[in-house]
Amino acid sequence: MEKLMRAAVYDGTNLNLTDKPLRAVAADEVLLKIAVCGVCGTDIKIVAGQSYVTPPVVLGHEYCGYVIETGTQVTSLEPGDFVAIDPNISCGQCQYCRRGQVNLCENLQALGVDIDGGFAEYCIAPAKQCFRLPENTDPVQAALLEPLSCAIYGFQKAAIKPGDSVLIFGGGLIGILMLKLARLSPARQIIVVEPDAQRRKICLKLGADLAFSADEKSESEIFKITQGGAEVVIECAGVLPAVEQALRLVKNGGRVVIFGVSPSEQKLPVAPYEIYRRDISITGSFLNPFTFKTAVDLFSAGRIDFDDIEINSFRLSGIMDAFENQRQHKSLKTVIDLR
Q: Where are the alpha helices (DSSP H) in 55-211?
A: 95-98, 139-142, 145-158, 173-183, 197-205
- Cα–Cα dist 65/45, whole Å: 25
To Zn ion, the closest distance from the beta carbon of 94 in angstroms equals 3
Query: Contact 43/60 with Cβ under 8 angstroms?
Result: yes
Site for Zn ion in 71-90 (CB under 5 A): 90
**Stretch in the footprint of Zn ion (CB under 5 A) among 102-110, 114-122, 248-256, 286-294:** 102-110
Half-sphere exposure of residue 236: CA atoms within 13 angstroms, side-chain side: 30
Query: Contact 293/302 with Cβ under 8 angstroms?
Result: no
Site for Zn ion in 3-62 (CB under 5 A): 40, 42
To Zn ion, the closest distance from the beta carbon of 285 in angstroms equals 13
Examine residue 94 and tell whether it contacts Zn ion (CB under 5 A). yes
Check the CA dihedral 85-89-92-96 and report its sign: negative
To Zn ion, the closest distance from the beta carbon of 14 in angstroms equals 20
Instruction: Name which of 40 and 182 has its Cβ closer to Zn ion.
Output: 40
Examine residue 97 and tell whether it contacts Zn ion (CB under 5 A). yes
- The total of other beta-carbon atoms located within 10 Å of residue 293's CB is 12
Instruction: Give the H/E segment covering residue 31.
Output: strand 29-39
Closest residue to Zn ion, judged by C-beta, is: 40
Nearest-10 crossing angle of helices 145-158, 292-300:
110
37, 105, 173, 210: which one binds Zn ion (CB under 5 A): 105
Examine residue 261 and tell whether it contacts Zn ion (CB under 5 A). no
Per rule CB under 5 A, count of chain residues that contact Zn ion = 7
To Zn ion, the closest distance from the beta carbon of 108 in angstroms equals 7
To Zn ion, the closest distance from the beta carbon of 105 in angstroms equals 3
Which stretches of the chain bind Zn ion, using CB under 5 A? 40, 42, 90-91, 94, 97, 105
